[in-house]
Chains A and B, each alone.
Chain A
């Protein structure tokens, strides 16, 4: 187990290091006119040179990278060009909104996906199974922003124009400020994300439940006279959950992308929206900060998921 841990963490560190290199190359080496961009369009050559000196762009590239790495390792992500606020505090202030969207959606999609998958698996080829399969494939094919905009149109605009009580269209109310409003504002983003991501889990749960329910020990459990409910939930679902845990790890990277889109569509000022806004403003330090933090989060979460998986299933540790 220790060896597995060490190897897994070593790989995580390697990934993070490569990401730092990629980001560095992307932002500091590839575009020749970083200083120009920062200094503004009408800057004199002197200003540009001054900016270069402040950013350390006149130093050799390995030295620049070293400075960059050391700075990041100290947890200092620099300052926003646009607002002069430190990137760390920007990200910190946006974090609650993003976490709210993520956590609520995750709960719904896991419940929805696993429940639908189990229903499909215990009654394969029935009407219920086929409609659930069609339902998941439909949402699986739907782009995030299309579903988000459709949700807004129906649950905000159509209800609103017909004078019916409607959900709020956009914005984020902190949980600490007003839990009820927080909840109302979160419903649409949650449901949007959950419907999209639940599809994968429905299909996955169904498949792995079907595999598991065909196993001998399930037949034994039935033969012992256990109730069907107990057989399915205690004996079946438990073993079927391992691939679902793995998929959760894989989906974290995808989720970051979905969050960017969801926050943009629903006007939630989280980290995803922050990245899009800073692109519009050409605010490089913020973009870099967001990419680094999000990547690190994905890598760390993946390690956590893998370790959890290894605890659940000893076979994983061997390879």
Chain B
């Protein structure tokens, strides 16, 4: 048995606030603020982040409301207006009161097509990133936590995927299977998960050595429980940041495939194939400008927002090789 208690009266009278069990600390209504709540508060104060978020919401609304826009203008997405929508020699018409953003080479309304194009871009960006993040997280967690042969095999696979010239492979793959949005999304996800997995793995390798993981093991927790209940919450912030930076690159990837004629097959509009269509109409500046500008503000907004999320989670710049920032 242990010996009788050490004299603590003196100590506790000197330090009443530190250890007194029943909160000699003023019992304010301080609810525990999770790191996510703190990050959210910081994000709310970041003006760039709020502007980017507004832009993202605008693009999402544009995509959601595309049928409404088509209805209000009375212009179908693939409807060709040869008389009012084209110059006499068949070239696109500039912005006017009927076609607010002008028409394309086939006399179709650019506003309506751009709105429908937003659907493709966002769909591809969001779904491909989501798949890549989920797969990358699971693979990274498994490789980092389970270690040994599993880590060796998974890491080699990551190395291989990362060292493939991905656009070329994507092009080749699409050439065989034939272009479609589904294939584009699959290809983008396939070439994006590895970078997520590599970063998650690196984080997990350090987390695995922490005592709270040992504590969970000593309680008899299964590997799966430790990976998802104990380790995952500690890499979630990094994953959120990765996801918000992955979305714009997935959007650009899809647009590039569509530009090369390997993404969404026409006449379905996507910003990529719209830009591709403008290639031979230098004088119709709006034809290039409308989809390009939308693509640019979307990716820029996501990139700026991603940076802001990273800063909000990590104001001192310690995580994720946050090298581009103070």
- Chains A and B in contact, CB within 8 Å: yes
Q: Which residues of A contact B (CB under 8 A)?
A: 11, 14-15, 18-19, 22-23, 26-27, 30-31, 124-125, 133, 137-138, 140-146, 149-150, 152-153, 156-157, 161, 203-204, 206-208, 210-211, 243, 250, 252-254, 256-258, 260-261, 264-265, 275-276, 279-280, 282, 287-288, 290-291, 294-295, 298-299, 302
Instruction: Evaluate contact between A257 and B296: CB separation under 8 angstroms.
Output: no
B160: A residues at CB distance < 8 A? 14-15, 18-19
Cα–Cα, bound, A190→B140 (Å): 37
Most buried by A among B162, B168, B275, B276: B168
B288 touches A149 (CB 8 A): yes
Docked complex: B81-129 residues within 8 A CB-CB of A: none
Bound together, the chains give a CA A258 to CA B321 distance in angstroms of 25
Shortest Cβ distance from A283 into B: residue: B175
Contact B295 A287 (CB under 8 A): no
| B270 CB-CB contact with A under 8 Å | no
Q: Is B57 an interface residue (CB 8 A)?
A: no
Nearest Cβ distance between residue B262 and chain A, in whole angstroms?
7
What are 6 residue pairs bridging A and B, where the CB atoms are less than 8 Å apart in the complex?
Answer: A31-B177, A137-B300, A203-B323, A257-B167, A260-B260, A287-B172
Closest to A280 in B: B261
With CB as the reference atom, state the residue of chain B lying closest to A160.
B282
User: Given the complex, which residues of B lie within 8 Å of A243, measured CB to CB?
Assistant: 323
- Contact across chains for A31 and B299 when beta carbons are under 8 A apart: no
Give CA–CA (A96, B296) in the complex, Å. 32
Cβ of A11: which chain B residues have Cβ within 8 Å of it?
A: 156, 159
A157 touches B282 (CB 8 A): yes
Which of B171, B176, B304 contacts A276, CB < 8 Å?
A: B171
- Once the chains are docked, how many angstroms separate the CA of A290 from the CA of B171? 11
The reply on B164 being an interface residue by CB < 8 A is: yes
User: Once the chains bind, are B256 and A138 in contact (CB under 8 Å)?
Assistant: no
Please measure, in the bound complex, the distance between the C-alpha atom of A182 and the C-alpha atom of B261, giving whole angstroms: 29
- A290 neighbours in B (Cβ, 8 Å): 168
For chain B, the bracket of interface size reads 35 or more
- Chain B residues, CB < 8 A from A253: 162-166
- In this complex, what residue of B is CB-closest to A140? B303
Binding site for A on B (CB under 8 A): 156, 159-160, 162-169, 171-177, 248, 252, 255-256, 259-262, 272, 275-276, 278-279, 282-283, 285, 288, 292, 295-296, 299-300, 303-304, 307, 321-326
Bound-state CA distance A232–B135 (Å) is 43
A142's partner among B175, B296, B307, B323 (CB-CB below 8 A) is B296
- Whole-angstrom CA separation of A11 from B158 in the bound complex: 12
Cβ-neighbour of A204 out of B166, B259, B324 (below 8 A): B324
List B contacts of A145 (CB < 8 A). Answer: 255-256, 259, 272, 275-276
Q: How far is the CB of B316 from chain A (nearest CB, A)?
A: 13
Closest to B326 in A: A124
Q: Is the CB of A149 within 8 A of B278?
A: yes
CB distance from B112 to the nearest CB of A (A): 21
Least CB distance from A128 to B in Å reads 15
- Interface pair B163/A15, CB less than 8 Å apart: yes
Of A141, A156, A254, the residue contacting B300 (CB under 8 A) is A141
Interface centre among B167, B173, B248 (most CB of A within 10 A): B167
- Minimum C-beta distance from B311 to chain A (A): 13
Smallest CB gap from A37: residue in B = B176
B255 and A153 form a contact (CB under 8 A) = no
Given known pairs A30-B176, A150-B288, A203-B323, the reply for A291 and B168 (CB within 8 Å) is yes
**B304 in complex: contacting residue of A137, A204, A256, A275, CB < 8 Å:** A137
The smallest C-beta distance from B273 to any residue of chain A, in angstroms, reads 11
A291 near B159: Cβ-Cβ < 8 Å: no
- Give the nearest-CB partner of B175 in chain A: A279
A153–B300 touching, CB < 8 Å: no
Contact between B176 and A149 (Cβ–Cβ < 8 Å)? no
Measured between C-beta atoms, what is the minimum distance from A192 to chain B in Å?
A: 14
Give me 8 other A-B pairs in contact (C-beta within 8 A), A261-B256, A291-B172 excluded: A11-B156, A31-B176, A203-B323, A207-B321, A211-B323, A243-B323, A265-B279, A295-B168
Instruction: Contact check, B260 vs A261: say whether CB atoms are below 8 A apart.
Output: yes
Q: Which residues of A contact B326 (CB under 8 A)?
A: 124-125, 210
Residue of B177, B262, B282 with most partner-chain A CB within 10 A: B282
Q: Is the CB of B168 within 8 A of A153?
A: no
Provide the bound-state CA to CA distance between A252 and B164, in Å. 10
Is B282 a contact of A143 with CB atoms below 8 Å? no
- The residue in A254, A279, A295 that gathers the most chain B C-beta atoms within 10 A of its C-beta is A279
Cα–Cα, bound, A256→B288 (Å): 25
Chain A residues with CB under 8 A of B303? 137, 140-141
Report the bound CA distance from A49 to B321 in whole Å: 57
Cβ of B164 and Cβ of A295 under 8 Å apart? Answer: yes
Across the interface, which residues of B come within 8 angstroms of A280, CB to CB? 261
Residues of B within 8 A of A261 (CB): 167, 256, 259-260
Nearest residue, chain B, Cβ from A156: B282
In the complex, which residues of chain A have a beta carbon less than 8 angstroms from the beta carbon of B259?
Answer: 143, 145, 261
